[in-house]
Amino acid sequence: MDTKFSIAIHILVYINETEKIVTSELLAKSVGTNASHIRKIISLLKDANIVDSQQGKKGMVLKIKASKLTLDKVYFAVYPEKEILHVHNTSNQECPIGLGIKEVLLPIFEESEKQLILNLKNKTLESLIIDLYKTYNEQLKRGVKYESSTSRTIQ
């Protein structure tokens, strides 16, 4: 499985939580990838009307408030037509297993996909950010040191 979804969420959290002018280079440094890859994901988020470039400035803003942006919207932005689980189409129809495997697996796969989307729909970017701050503060208490790349103070 690729990482576009987690990178998209990383980008959105960063955009929401920084007061800096957000560039693909700045995001690439935070994500740990190259700016070209970031621009591809940002393009998907723009197409889905989740982010926009600020007029007259170099940078990006969220078009949907973090409290209203559910993770399913982000998922469908980066994977507009992706089927999560696939049943292979190469099974031998003369084999008893090959004949019935699709019929047995398809309902399981469909239900699993529905549950994933429902879970994502029930989580907002804001709730994810709150969880991120809790994790950050717990790690600080344990003595983990960070170099801040955002300008906000974690609370």
Name the band, by pLDDT with cuts 50, 70 and 90, for residue 9: very high
pLDDT at 122: 97
Q: What is the pLDDT of residues 98-153, one digit of tens each?
A: 999 999 999 999 999 999 999 999 999 999 999 999 998 888 888 877 665 554 54
The burial of 83, by beta-carbon neighbours within 10 Å (0-12 exposed, 13-18 middle, 19 or more buried), is given as exposed
**Residues 36, 150, 70, 23, CA torsion sign:** negative
CB 59 within 8 A of CB 46: no
pLDDT at 112: 95
Does a structural domain hold residue 70?
Answer: yes
E-strand stretches of the chain: 51-53, 60-62
Cα–Cα distance for residue pair 104/88, rounded to 1 Å: 12
- Output the average pLDDT for the chain: 90
pLDDT at 44: 97
Does a structural domain hold residue 42?
Answer: yes
Does a structural domain hold residue 146?
Answer: no
pLDDT at 56: 57
Does a structural domain hold residue 92?
Answer: yes
Give the residue numbers spanning the domain of 86: 4-141
Cα–Cα distance for residue pair 54/70, rounded to 1 Å: 22
Does a structural domain hold residue 36?
Answer: yes
pLDDT at 2: 84
Domain CATH number, residue 26: 1.10.10.10
pLDDT at 148: 59
Residues 6+ apart with CB under 8 A from 43: none
Residues 6+ apart with CB under 8 A from 81: none
Does a structural domain hold residue 150?
Answer: no
pLDDT at 149: 53
Name the band, by pLDDT with cuts 50, 70 and 90, for residue 54: low
- Among 23-32, 61-70, 142-151, the range scoring the smallest mean pLDDT is 142-151
The number of folded domains in the chain is 1
Does a structural domain hold residue 119?
Answer: yes
